[in-house]
Amino acid sequence: MKNKVILLFLVFFFQTAFSAVEKVGSEELMKELPKLESIDCKFKQEKLIKNIQKPLLSNGNFKFVKGEGVYFETLYPVKSTVSYTNKDYKQINDIILAISNKKYSKLDREFDFYFSKDKDLWTLTLKPKTESKSAKYLDSLTIEGEDYINKIVILAKDGSKTTQWFIIE
């Protein structure tokens, strides 16, 4: 009986949560999302890879410099620095810069936008259009935030899932 109640609750929750998500155009999105500014904070990442039972965990420092790009300084499990400003990560950096600068028309060619807002918390999901380059490897990119981005979830075509949380102290 307890399992049935939990199942009914989950069905209701997901129907309610996803019914508020609407496909939107870049014009509407520009009005809804806050202007994102440069930020320094901590990050925590969990990567789930198909056929690997335990998630890969990492954490460290995150820096977003508006107009320039994103930097991850990983402190655990291995110390490293990754900059999304170079050509290897150009597409990811272009997406982040387009969103932070509210230049969604660049993204219109590649993605459909799905948006929801509950009080100050907003969620934006980018789903690649079938003819886009991103559709070959990306299922969706979901960004959640308030005045700044709290969480990013990347679902890849290969079944992997990367979740990044951003913590301002």
Percent of the chain with pLDDT over 90: 41
Q: Supply the CATH number for residue 107's domain.
A: 2.50.20.10
pLDDT at 10 over 60: no
Confirm whether 3 is domain-assigned: no
Q: What is the reported pLDDT for 147? A: 82
Confirm whether 1 is domain-assigned: no
Number of domains in the chain: 1
Range of the domain at 39: 21-167
DSSP string, 76-131: ESS-EEEETTSGGGHHHHHHHHHHHTT-THHHHTTEEEEEEEETTEEEEEEEE-TT
Do residues 61 and 40 make contact, with C-beta atoms less than 8 angstroms apart?
A: yes
pLDDT at 90 over 80: no
Confirm whether 13 is domain-assigned: no
0.85 exceeded by pTM: no
Return phi, psi of residue 95, to 5°. Answer: -65, -50
Indicate the residue type of 68: E
Query: In whole numbers, what is the pLDDT of the chain averaged over residues?
Result: 81
Confirm whether 149 is domain-assigned: yes
Do residues 75 and 46 make contact, with C-beta atoms less than 8 angstroms apart?
A: no
| HSE-CB for 143 with a 13 A CA cutoff | 17
Per-residue CA distances from 34 to 42, 85, 102 (Å): 21, 23, 9
Do residues 162 and 56 make contact, with C-beta atoms less than 8 angstroms apart?
A: no
